[in-house]
């Protein structure tokens, strides 16, 4: 969500949504609420404010002191914040960015893709599964290399 934290004096040009967010934020402060979610004429807005939790309950114990669990694919590492629609892997398998090594990629980084267009293939159990773009837009991020193993739910690409 492209919210930039503007100065106090809000310009008149501000969109209706941003204005609404400001108002909601003010209500948060005023009422001591921590979260507001609002569906309003098709626009859904959620604002929330974290409490300063001082409690530090030891949620995840340091079980891994000797053999750290190496996640096969580097999905966790690769998820820098680039906004857009993520294409998450619907299955486990080996991802291919082009139909064959000699051919160019289904979709090059920075290019425009169409919703439903095949942007990569995932091979699982000797079957090539064509993976389609979830929406039309610009391919702004490719998190994987060709022939890389991927796991379920991993963010493979981001389309803006």
Partner 1 sequence: MFDKILIANRGEIALRVLRAARELGIQTVAVHSTADADAMHVKLADESVCIGPPPAKDSYLNIPAIVAACEITGAEAVHPGYGFLSENAKFAEILKSHNIKFIGPSVENIRTMGDKIEAKRTAKELGIPIVPGSEGGVHDIATARKVGKDIGYPVIIKATAGGGGRGMKVANSEAELELAVSTAQSEAKAAFGNGEVYIEKYLEKPRHIEIQILGDGQGRAIHLGERDCSLQRRHQKIWEEAHSPALNAKQRDEIGARVSNAMAKMSYEGVGTIEFLFENNEFYFIEMNTRLQVEHPVTEAITGLDLVQEQIRVAAGAALAYKQSDIQFSGHAIECRINAENPLTFIPSPGKVNDVHFPGGLGVRVDSALYSGYRIPPYYDSLIGKLIVFGKSRAECMMRLRRSLSEFVVDGVETTIPLFQKLLAEPDILDGHYDIHWLEKYLARTKM
Which spans of this chain sit near its own copies (rule: CB under 8 A)?
Answer: 7, 14, 17-18, 21-40, 42-57
CA dist 14 to 25, 45, 139, 148, Å? 15, 16, 28, 44
47 CB-side CA count, 13 A: 16
Of 64, 30, 72, 66, the C-alpha closest to 47 is 30
Residue nearer to partner 1 on the CB measure, 16 or 147: 147
The option from its own copies, partner 1, none interacting with 6 (CB < 5 to 8 A, set by class) reads: none
CA 42 to mean position of chain CA atoms? 22
Handedness of CA 86, 92, 94, 99 (dihedral sign): negative
- Taking CA 83 as the corner, what is the angle to CA 79 and CA 89, rounded to the nearest 5 degrees? 50
Q: How far is the CB of 35 from partner 1 (least distance, A)?
A: 18
Is 134 an interacting residue with respect to partner 1 (CB under 8 A)? Answer: no
Residues 39-68 that bind partner 1 (CB under 8 A): 57-67
Q: Let me know: does 107 contact 133? Beta carbons within 8 Å.
A: yes
The option from its own copies, partner 1, none interacting with 66 (CB < 5 to 8 A, set by class) reads: partner 1
The option from its own copies, partner 1, none interacting with 61 (CB < 5 to 8 A, set by class) reads: partner 1
Q: How far is the CB of 104 from partner 1 (least distance, A)?
A: 24
Residues 86-105 that bind partner 1 (CB under 8 A): 91-94
Is 5 an interacting residue with respect to partner 1 (CB under 8 A)? Answer: no
d(CA 81, CA 47): 19
Candidate residues 33, 71, 82, 109; the one interacting with partner 1 per rule CB under 8 A = 71
Interface with partner 1 (CB under 8 A): 57-67, 69-72, 91-94, 123-127, 149-154
């Amino acid at each position: 969500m492209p919210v930039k934290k503007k100065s106090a004096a809000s310009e008149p040009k501000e969109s209706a949504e941003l204005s609404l967010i400001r108002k909601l934020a003010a209500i948060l402060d005023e009422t001591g609420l921590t979260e507001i979610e609002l569906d309003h004429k098709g626009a859904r807005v959620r604002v929330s404010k974290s409490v300063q939790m001082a409690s530090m309950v030891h949620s995840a114990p340091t079980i891994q002191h000797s053999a750290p669990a190496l996640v096969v694919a580097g999905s966790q590492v690769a998820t820098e914040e680039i906004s857009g629609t993520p294409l998450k892997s619907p299955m486990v398998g080996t991802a291919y960015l082009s139909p064959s090594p000699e051919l160019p990629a289904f979709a090059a980084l920075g290019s425009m893709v169409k919703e439903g267009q095949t942007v990569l293939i995932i091979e699982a159990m000797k079957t090539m599964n064509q993976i389609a773009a979830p929406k039309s837009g610009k391919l702004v991020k490719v998190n994987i290399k060709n022939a890389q193993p991927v796991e379920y739910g991993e963010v493979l690409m981001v389309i803006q």
